[in-house]
Each structure stands twice: as structure tokens, then as C-alpha cells.
């Protein structure tokens, strides 16, 4: 049975695959950010804080989560192709829209995200209308706790989009079970890889975020390399 690579080895593989590909990858990454930003800010233009506004805001927020999840699948598709030395392009970003399994998976993950993050949005809207600073503080606390809970729940699902790509003939339920199987005993490994990018992210802050243009592809390519290594090791076992 093979062994998982060290985090440094996984990141080294990501850097190797990115060589000569940064311009195209960054272009797709910018397109993702543009659409994500546009989708996520649409609901912010709705005035008022009444019940009807809350319901409409909630519906639009959930819809935006679904669309962004589909785009995240597209990014995963591009980076997996990159790390498999396959041809890729901007069309990969929207490839999930044509796959019912992706849309269903996006609905599931969006629902989980919505449950744990929208209550904070409601409190934030109420704090704006009431001018009560305690509500703003509570909103921040609820948001941080909700994000943490969602992240913990998301970890077993973290390989789902990759599995959907690896196994196009499998249903969503089977792909979820495979994602859980792949991540069994490996959650801290993924967390460690993610945490290892914190120094680079902090350095990017000093460049007013410009450094993230290079750091973000590095991160995403590393996650794709992690999946490939994880799949090889688990399959061999």
C-alpha cells in the first residue's frame, strides 16, 4: 500500500503543474471571482428589512450559494485537469451546469451552507434597521460559529466534486459515500494543507491582496494534487 505524500511534496507537485500555466489559470480564476462577486451581491440591493424582504433575501442568497457551488465545481474540474496534464479552459468553469449530478450536489452543499450562515445575515439586517450594536456583535459571533460548524461538516464532502469528475457513471449518493471513504482518517491532513497557506495569505495582505492572484491557484492546485494522491493510496489499499 502506498503512502500519502507529505504536505510539502503535494505543494511541490502543484507548483510543477502550474509552471507555464499561470496566465490561463489566473484568467479563469478572475472569471470565477467576477461571477461569484456579482451573484453574491445581487441580494444586497434589496431595500428594507420586513418579512417579505427577509424571505426574498433568503431565496436569493440560497440561489446564489447554488450557483457559486456549481462554479466551484468548474474550478475543481479545471485544476484536476491541470494536475492530470489534460487540456482545460474557461469552458470548464461552467461545465457543471450541464450535469444534473453537479446541480444536485450543489443544492446539497448550498443548503448546508445556508442553514449555518443565513441566520447571521438576518441578524445583520436587523442590526441595520434597529441601530442596535449588540445585534451586530451577535451577528458576527453567529457567523463565525456557523462557518466553523459548516466547515467541519463540509470536510467529509470535500472530495465530492473530484469524485463526480472521476466517476461520471456514479450517482450522487455513491459519490458522497466515496468522498466520505476517501476522507476517513484524512481530515486533519487536508486541514494541515489549508493551514500551511496562512503565511502566504498574510504576506498577500501586505500587497493589498495582489499576491492572492498567485496564491489562490497554488492553493487550488494543491487540493487537486491532494485528491489525486489520496485516491491512489486508498485505491491501492
| pLDDT tens column, 173-211 | 999 999 999 999 999 999 999 999 999 999 999 998 889
Distance CA 223, CA 112 (A): 21
> Band of the pLDDT at 131, cuts 50, 70, 90?
confident
Residues 6+ apart with CB under 8 A from 102: 70, 73, 95, 96, 161, 164
Helix (H) or strand (E) holding 170: none
- 47 compared with 89, residue with greater pLDDT: 89
Distance CA 148, CA 142 (A): 10
At residue 208, φ and ψ (nearest 5 deg) are 60, 35
Q: Does residue 52 have a pLDDT over 90?
A: no
Number of Cβ atoms within 10 Å of the Cβ of 200? 15
pTM over 0.75: yes
Distance CA 90, CA 75 (A): 9
Q: Does residue 95 have a pLDDT over 60?
A: yes
Distance CA 28, CA 19 (A): 16
> Residue 4 class from Cβ within 10 Å (0-12 exposed, 13-18 middle, 19+ buried)?
middle
The closest of 160, 34, 16 to 93, measured between CA atoms, is 34
Instruction: State the cell numbers at 40.
Output: 453574491
Give the mean pLDDT of the chain.
91
Q: Does residue 125 have a pLDDT over 80?
A: no
Amino acid at each position: 500500500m502506498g503512502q500519502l505524500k507529505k504536505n510539502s511534496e503535494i505543494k511541490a507537485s502543484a507548483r510543477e503543474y502550474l509552471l507555464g500555466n499561470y496566465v490561463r489559470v489566473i484568467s479563469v480564476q478572475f472569471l470565477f471571482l467576477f461571477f461569484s462577486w456579482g451573484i453574491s451581491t445581487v441580494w444586497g440591493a434589496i431595500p428594507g428589512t420586513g418579512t417579505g424582504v427577509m424571505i426574498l433575501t433568503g431565496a436569493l442568497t440560497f440561489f446564489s450559494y447554488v450557483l457559486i457551488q456549481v462554479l466551484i465545481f468548474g474550478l475543481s474540474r479545471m485544476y484536476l485537469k491541470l494536475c492530470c496534464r489534460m487540456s482545460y479552459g474557461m469552458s470548464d468553469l461552467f461545465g457543471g451546469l450541464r450535469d444534473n449530478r453537479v446541480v444536485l450536489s450543489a443544492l446539497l452543499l448550498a443548503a448546508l451552507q445556508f442553514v449555518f450562515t443565513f441566520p447571521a445575515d438576518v441578524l445583520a439586517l436587523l442590526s441595520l434597521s434597529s441601530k442596535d450594536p449588540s445585534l451586530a456583535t451577535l451577528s458576527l459571533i453567529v457567523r463565525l460559529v456557523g462557518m466553523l460548524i459548516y466547515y467541519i461538516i463540509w470536510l467529509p464532502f470535500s472530495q465530492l466534486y473530484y469524485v463526480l469528475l472521476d466517476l461520471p457513471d456514479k450517482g450522487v449518493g455513491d459519490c458522497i459515500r466515496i468522498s466520505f471513504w476517501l476522507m476517513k482518517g484524512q481530515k486533519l491532513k487536508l486541514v494541515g494543507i489549508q493551514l500551511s497557506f496562512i503565511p502566504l495569505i498574510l504576506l498577500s495582505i501586505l500587497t493589498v491582496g495582489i499576491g492572492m492572484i498567485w496564491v489562490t491557484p497554488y492553493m487550488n492546485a494543491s487540493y487537486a494534487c491532494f485528491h489525486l494522491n489520496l485516491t491512489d493510496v486508498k485505491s491501492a489499499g
